[in-house]
Structure 1
Amino acid sequence: MNSSTFPTEIKLHQQSRVLEISFSDGVTFQLSCEYLRVFSPSAEVRGHSPEQAVLQVGKKEVNIKDIQPVGHYAIKLVFDDGHDTGLYSWSYLYDLGKQYDIYWRDYLGRLAAAGASRDPL
């Protein structure tokens, strides 16, 4: 992604819990609400350093209930579990899409290592 790449369309499919994002370079990503929630860029999820990151568990059924634009550079996603503090920049969303397989595999590995589950409590 270069600095002139930006979303041309953002569609929330609430029934399937997928956010579809098309970018100006022709790339489209379909990212689950769960994936976006567990990789929230907020300090409460990521911490202020990698050691402070909080593993997100039980988010399999989470959905997005609102999408709010933030200037011309990001969106704020409001999730139905009350989480709403992450600002998803265009470059962060693009990275989440491009690196999906790597990030998701790593997340599932961290869940397994913690003996935790994606399923809600």
Structure 2
Amino acid sequence: MNPVAIGNSRSKQQLRLGWPDGREQLLGHAELRRLCPCSQCRAFRLRGMTPLVDERVCVVELNPQGYGLQLVFSDGHERGIYPWDYLAQLNSEATEN
């Protein structure tokens, strides 16, 4: 299932996805960077290590890839393509109103 809307806020450091079922998902940039699905980051996590990510990291570019979204981060990391199903399963951040 592909999102019907994609938004990126560098000031709030959040990726916003709107899904066909009406659900809106907010995902923090730093958490997305920590959960990068590229082979290098997955191997790091499989060894029991948590990637050190600066909390100020931002998504600076979004590149749709058909089955998912390539995120380019302000720290230069751009290897991961996040499949739509993977993104849909991530926990949304609590939003403050």
Task: Tell me if TM exceeds 0.5.
Answer: yes
TM-score computed with the length of structure 1 as normaliser = 0.70
Greater RCO between the two (CA within 8 Å, min separation 6)? Answer: 2
- Which ranges of structure 2 fall in alignment gaps of 5 or more residues? none
1:46–1:54 Cα contact (<8 Å) kept: no
Distance in 2 (alpha carbons) for counterparts of 1:12 and 1:58: 19
Aligned to 2:63: 68
Q: How does 1:22-37 map to 2 (within 5 A)?
A: 22-37=18-33
Aligned amino acid, residue 58 of structure 2: N
Bigger radius of gyration, 1 or 2?
1
Partner of 2:15: 19
Off by >3 Å, runs of 4+ in structure 1: none
SS at 1:97 equivalent = coil
**Cα-Cα RMSD:** 2.0
- TM-score by length of structure 2 reads 0.86
- Indicate how the Cα distance of structure 1 residues 60 and 48 shifts in structure 2: closer, same or farther if over 3 A, else same: closer
Question: Could you tell me the percent identity over the aligned residues?
Answer: 28
